[in-house]
Amino acid sequence: MIFTDRAKTVLEIRYLLKNEKGEPIENPEQLFQRVSSYIAQAEKIYKKNSFEWEEKFHELISSLRFLPNSPALMNAGKPKAQLAACFVLPIEDSIESIFKTLKDAALILQSGGGTGFNFSSLRPKGDVVRSTGGVASGPVSFMKIFDKASDIIKQGGARRGANMGVLRVDHPDIFEFIRIKRIESLSNFNISVAVTDSFMEALFKNDYFPLINPRTKEVVRKVKAKDIFDEIVESAWETGDPGVIFIDTINRSNPTPHIGQIDSTNPCGEQPLLPYEACILGSLNLSKYVKEGKIDFERLEHDVKTATRFLDDAIDVTHYPVPEVEKMHKGNRKIGLGIMGWADCLVELGIPYNHKKALALAEQVMQFISEKSHKASQELAQERGVFPNFKGSVWEKKGIPMRNATTTTIAPTGTISIIADCSSGIEPYFLLAYKQRILDTEFEIINKYLIEIAQKQGFYSEDFINQLRQKGTLRGMKEVPLRIKRLFKTALEITPEEHIQMQASFQKYTDNAVSKTINLSQRTRKEDVARIFILAYKKGLKGITIFRYGSKRGTLLKISDAH
Ligand code: UDP
């Protein structure tokens, strides 16, 4: 197995099993063995040959064509093998509910999972608290408690604690929520406003929009929809937060509306979930599927099938830190198979990221993965039965027996793409040369495809590399042919519309959602941000996150760390 030095360092710090002195007691090869063998134990439940599947899983992951989300790599085989990356927990309007969820969140965080919460059921600031005769402090004050707790737990936990805080656009405290990241770092939270269709209609008509007290259901006051929207734009422009989730769009594709409404996503936005639901993600590394200038669809089909089975198996051998989550996840059996290495794959095919051929290919690839994973889930249903909440689901109405309520999600792949040495998720390259510090070691990353092409085409030189180190892009380099410059356009050289179109092309064939940061240059104006949010809604995206280069940014997770 060939790992880059950076991958070896990441594996050593976070993923390899350690003894009590903190020394690794396995190597990366043994890590993959541990993961494959642990997941394949699930096959025994269905009276299948676990060794056969262990070998298949091992071949798939050790070739770096597929990797499951980090918690699966870290925790498989441990006594508390929590394998899921994504969770959503409910919060009701009582101290008991808030602190029960805080405890559950602490346990999830400790296991390396990220959690989303919708705080909208909490009565607004200044409302009455009958039991004490006091005054309510509002959702934002409770978010601060969650943030502080995350700070403390993460010090002993597996990785940085990630949370998503959501507030509905019609909550009376919406302005305070939108502004919070301009005032406080709240560094363990990404925040998103849950925007409804009726809000967007009010915005388009330049109408007033009612803010409603969730406790009394009464309209507290009416404000111009544009005033709320402008506040979202202002804060997002300044800090990257809040993002927006289009909650009605999300619920239109809720596969199990009879079980509940979706009111939040996981921390990076790619996974809408019901309260108490979890999801295990895994990503195929598309850079490994280019053969003779084409995508090898035959091999892809084969691997989609194995990866789908891997993720379904993972549910059965996960140790759930919260019993309610176990019940919900085993009821819907959501899994999220996606891709990484998209920018690499396009370079290998010679297609610029912002060319219409890239959009067409994105749709073709994702449609293919979606169809084949649905087919694999149907075959699993024949073998193992449909997911327990199938009756009453959208799948039942369509007459399609499924083992999993959803099968596809596109994750950021922040860390697993480093392990697999590929570009992250569906993002374009952020820079072609950059430095990254991991603990005490500084790594220099220069795009490996670019080096190869530069050598082949004869523009490789010390001077070329030095210029690249300085700029990070090919802009202004006379010795580089135009065709190559187009092929290696970086995130900030791609227009926001092109970023959104790529997200939309993938979303079209993704059951869950797509993680994507719309990277904007520093000089992007607020009007541009407003236009981008509206375009995202019109394109049918489930959510949108922007990041303006150089803007103040509290959280670490959004601009994919691995660029
Ligand atoms: N996540 C988290 N903490 C982190 C990174 C990720 O809790 O430091 C969770 C979060 O729910 C995120 C999901 O894992 O949306 C997937 O993130 P990513 O694909 O970057 O994870 P990887 O598997 O590459 O570590």
Cα separation, 416 vs 233, in Å, equals: 32
For 143, the domain range is 86-265
Residue 223 maps to a domain: yes
Q: CA 188, CA 116: separation in Å to the nearest integer?
A: 11
Q: What's the gap in Å between 414 CA and the centre of ligand 1?
A: 7
CA 367 to ligand 1 centroid distance, Å: 24
- The response to whether residue 260 sits with its C-beta less than 6 Å from ligand 1 reads no
Cα–Cα distance measured from residue 519 to residue 539, given in angstroms and rounded to the nearest whole number:
18
Question: Which protein residue has the closest C-alpha to ligand 1 atom 18?
Answer: 413
347 inside domain: no
- According to the model, what pLDDT value does residue 560 have? 35
- Give the contacts of 141 (CB within 8 A, at least 6 positions apart): 125
Whether ligand 1 lies within 6 angstroms of the CB of 411 is answered as yes
| 428 domain residue, yes or no | no
Domain containing 192 — which CATH number? Answer: 3.20.70.20
Q: What angle do CA 367, 373, 377 make, to 5 degrees?
A: 145
* Residue 69 Cβ contacting ligand 1 at under 6 Å: yes
The DSSP code for 333 is -
- Rounded to whole angstroms, the Cα distance separating 141 from 127 reads 13
Q: What ligand 1 atom has the least distance to the C-alpha of 85?
A: 14
pLDDT (0 to 100) of residue 562: 32
Atom number in ligand 1 closest to CA 115: 11
DSSP 465-502: HHHHHHHSS-TT-TTS-HHHHHHT--GGGS-HHHHHHH
Q: How far is the centre of ligand 1, averaged over its atoms, from the C-alpha of 328 (Å)?
A: 21
- Round to whole Å and give the CA distance between 157 and 234: 34
Do residues 307 and 282 make contact, with C-beta atoms less than 8 angstroms apart?
yes
Number of domains in the chain: 1
Q: Find, among 462, 340, 495, the residue nearest to 410 by Cα.
A: 340
Residue having the nearest C-alpha atom to atom 23 of ligand 1 = 69
Instruction: Tell me the CA–centroid distance for residue 114 and ligand 1, in Å.
Output: 7
Q: For residue 408, give both structure tokens.
A: 């596809």
Question: Cβ(194) to ligand 1 under 6 A?
Answer: no
- First-last CA distance in the chain: 23
pLDDT of residue 561: 38
User: Could you tell me the distance, in angstroms and rounded to a whole number, from the CA of residue 111 to the centre of ligand 1?
Assistant: 12
Among the atoms of ligand 1, which is closest to the Cα of residue 411? 19
Q: Closest ligand 1 atom, CA of 270?
A: 15
CA distances from 2 to 5, 8, 64, 291, 343 (A): 10, 10, 10, 20, 21
Most informative mutation of 86, 87, 268, 284 for ligand 1 (most atoms within 8 A of CB) = 268
Distance CA 144, CA 533 (A): 27
Cβ–ligand 1 contact at 159 (below 6 Å): yes
Ligand 1 pocket, residue 86 CB under 6 Å: yes
Active site amino acids: 266, 268, 270
User: Among 66, 69, 74, which is best to mutate for testing ligand 1, by the most ligand atoms less than 8 A from CB?
Assistant: 69
Per-residue pLDDT of the chain in tens (563 residues, 90 and over written 9): 689 999 999 999 989 999 999 999 999 999 999 999 999 999 999 999 999 999 999 999 999 999 999 999 999 999 999 999 999 999 999 999 999 999 999 999 999 999 999 999 999 999 999 888 889 999 999 999 999 999 888 776 556 779 999 999 999 999 999 999 999 999 999 999 999 999 999 999 999 999 999 999 999 999 999 999 999 999 999 999 999 999 999 999 999 999 999 999 999 999 999 999 999 999 999 999 999 999 999 999 999 999 999 999 999 999 999 999 999 999 999 999 999 999 999 999 999 999 999 999 999 999 999 999 999 999 999 999 999 999 999 999 999 999 999 999 999 999 999 999 999 999 999 999 999 998 889 999 999 999 999 999 999 999 999 999 999 999 999 999 999 999 999 999 999 999 999 999 999 999 999 999 999 999 999 999 999 999 999 999 999 999 999 887 644 443 333 33
Is the distance from the beta carbon of residue 517 to the nearest atom of ligand 1 less than 6 Å?
no
Residue 327 resides in a domain: no
CB atoms within 10 A of CB 156: 8
pLDDT at 438: 87
Residue 187 lies in a domain: yes
Mutate to test the pocket of ligand 1, among 6, 66, 70, 264 (most ligand atoms within 8 A of CB): 70
* Tens-place pLDDT, residues 460-482: 999 999 999 999 999 999 999 99
Tokens (6 digits) for 113 = 């999972």
Interface predicted TM-score of the whole assembly (ipTM), two decimals: 0.91
| 3-state class (DSSP) for residue 450 | helix
Q: Give a yes or no: residue 436 inside a domain.
A: no
Domain-embedded: residue 463:
no
Verify whether ligand 1 is closer than 6 Å to residue 413 (CB atom).
yes
Closest C-alpha among 382, 415, 232 to residue 309: 382
Q: Which residue is closest in CA terms to ligand 1's atom 8? A: 160
**Encoded amino acid at 401, one letter:** P
Closest residue (by CA) to atom 7 of ligand 1? Answer: 114
Contact indicator for 281, 85 with CB cutoff of 8 Å: yes
Tell me, using a 6 A CB cutoff, whether residue 268 lines ligand 1: yes
List the residue whose alpha carbon is closest to atom 3 of ligand 1.
Answer: 162
Task: Determine whether the shortest distance from the Cβ of 266 to ligand 1 is under 6 A.
Answer: yes
Does residue 559 sit within a domain? no
**Alpha-carbon gap, residue 544 to 246, rounded angstroms:** 9
How confident is the model at residue 150, as a pLDDT? 93
**Ligand 1 atom with minimal separation from the 86 CA:** 11
Please classify residue 228 by burial: count the beta carbons closer than 10 Å to its beta carbon, then call 0-12 exposed, 13-18 middle and 19+ buried. Answer: buried
Residue nearest to atom 11 of ligand 1 (CA): 114
Q: Please name which of 324, 259, 289 lies closest in space to residue 87, comparing C-alpha atoms.
A: 324
The Cβ-side half-sphere exposure at 61, using a 13 Å CA radius, reads: 30
